[in-house]
Structure 1
Amino acid sequence: MFTGIVECVGTVLEYNVFDGSEAGGQGISVVVGGAGSILEDCHIGDSIAVDGVCLTVTAFDQETFKVGISPETVKRTACAQWSTPGASVNLERAVRQDVRFGGHYVQGHVDTVARLVSKVPEGNSVVFGFQLRDSQYMKYIVEKGFVCIDGVSLTITRVDDHRATFYIAMIKHTQENVTLPGKRLNEDDVNIEVDLTGKVIEKQISVALEAQFEQEDSPLIRTLNRLIDAKLAARNNC
Structure 2
Amino acid sequence: RDDTRRTPQFIKAIRKRLEGKEGKATFLDIGTGPFALFALVAARAGAKKVYAIEANPEAAARARAFVAKADDIAPGQVEILEGFTTAVTLPEKVDYMVGEIIGCIASEENCIATMRDAQARFMRNPNDPYAYIPHKVQTFGAPVSYALHREILAPPRYEKLRGVPLRVNCRDKGVQMLADPQLVEDFSFDKLPPVGRMLPPNPVLSYEVQAARLEATEEFLYESLIKEEKDANTNLDAAEARNLAKLTARSFSGMAFWPKLLLDPE
TM bin (shorter chain): under 0.3
Indicate the structure with greater helix content: 2
The normalised TM-score by structure 1 is 0.23
Indicate the structure with greater strand content: 1
The normalised TM-score by structure 2 is 0.22
